[in-house]
Structure 1
Amino acid sequence: MIKSVKGMDTEFQEYASKFESEINRGISTLSILSIISQYGENGVYGYQISKDILEQTHEMLIIEEGTIYPILRKLEDDRIIRSEREKEGRKRKFYFLTVYGEKIYNYLSGFYSILTEAIAPLFDVSVHLKQNKYIYCPACSNKIDLQNFEAKYCDVCGHYIEKELDERGLKNE
C-alpha cells in the first residue's frame, strides 16, 4: 500500500513497506484459507480467491499471482488444502480444505480473532466478535462454530468447554 505513494521520504517508505509486508504474510495465508472455506465442497480456483479477497477486503489486501500460487502450493504440501483439476472446459485447479485444514483454519481464525479483539484498544478501534455464531476456546482460542454443534471438548486442545456452553445456555446433554 505504502509503495504506491509517490514523493515520500525513502527511509520512511522502506520501513513502512517492510512492516506492511511482514503483517500481510500471515494474513494472506489466513485470508486464502477463509475464502476456500467459504466455497466449501464446491472448491475455488486461484484467480477467484485473489478476486474475492480483493473484494471482501475493500481492495485493502492485494494478493498477486506471484504470491498466491506459492502459498497454495505450500498449503497443499502441508496437507491443509487439496486440489482437483477441472475435467472439462478451462481445466482450472480447484482448491478445497482438507479435514485437517478445517481444523487448522478454525484454530488460526480463532486465534487471529481473539488477538485482534485484544489489541484493538491499543489502536483506539473497536472489534466485536460474533459471539452468537461462534465460541472461542478459552484455552487455545480455537473458533468453534455453534451451528450443528454437539461437542463438549475443543477439537484442537481437548479443553472441556461445557462451562462456556452452559453460560450461553447451550449445554449439550
Structure 2
Amino acid sequence: MSEDTELPSESATIARLRRELARGTTELAVLSVLGARRRYGYELMKVLRETGEGVLRVKEGTLYPLLHRLEDSGHIAATWEAEGRARPRKYYVITPEGRTYLATLRAEWSGLVDGMRQLLDTLGEVRE
C-alpha cells in the first residue's frame, strides 16, 4: 500500500459498521414499535431514535420506503386520519400477518445474538 493511501479511521470504520448493522435491523425495529401501538411516520422515527439509545438514527429517506414495502407486503396497514384541525397524518398499524412475520424476525435475531454471544464468549475464554 502506498503512503498516500489513507486507511479509514477507527471512528469512520465503527460508524460504517453501525450503519450496516442498523440497516439490517430497521425492519425488525419498525415492526416491534408498531407491535406496541399504531404510530404515524414522524412519531415512529422519534421513538426509534429515543428508545434505540441513538443507535437507530433512521432517516426519512430510509423509513418511508421501508413503510411502503411493509405495507405492500401486507405486514402493516395504513390509514389517513385528521385530529381536530391538524393536517391529516398517515397512521401505521401492524397486521396479523405482520405479527407472525415479527415473531419470525425476533426468533432469527435472538438466534443470531445468542450465537454471536457464544462465539465471542468462547473466543474470549481462549485468549485469556
TM-score interval, normalised by the smaller of the two chains: 0.7 to 0.9
What is aligned with 1:79?
Answer: 74
Distance in 2 (CA, whole Å) between partners of 1:121 and 1:32 is 27
Give the drift of 1:90: 2.4
| Aligned partner of 1:46 among 37, 41, 59 | 41
| Aligned partner of 1:69 among 64, 69, 90 | 64
What is aligned with 2:107?
Answer: 110
Question: How many aligned residue pairs are there?
Answer: 114
What is aligned with 2:125?
Answer: none
Distance in 2 (CA, whole Å) between partners of 1:83 and 1:91 is 12
Give the letter for the 1:62 counterpart. Answer: R
Give the unaligned 5+ runs of structure 2: 1-5, 122-128
Give the letter for the 1:96 counterpart. Answer: V
RCO higher in 1 or 2 (8 Å CA, sep ≥ 6)?
2
Give the unaligned 5+ runs of structure 1: 1-7, 125-173
| Aligned partner of 2:26 among 9, 25, 28 | 28
What is aligned with 1:120?
Answer: 117
What's the Cα RMSD here?
2.2
Distance in 2 (CA, whole Å) between partners of 1:83 and 1:107 is 22
TM-score scaled by structure 1?
Answer: 0.58
Distance in 2 (CA, whole Å) between partners of 1:38 and 1:31 is 11
Distance in 2 (CA, whole Å) between partners of 1:16 and 1:93 is 35
**2:18, 2:55 within 8 Å by CA — same for their partners in 1?**
no
**2:22, 2:55 within 8 Å by CA — same for their partners in 1?**
no
Distance in 2 (CA, whole Å) between partners of 1:16 and 1:104 is 30
Q: SS of the residue aligned with 1:59?
A: coil
Distance in 1 (CA, whole Å) between partners of 2:103 and 2:87 is 32
Structure with the larger helix share:
2
Distance in 2 (CA, whole Å) between partners of 1:19 and 1:59 is 14
TM-score scaled by structure 2?
Answer: 0.77
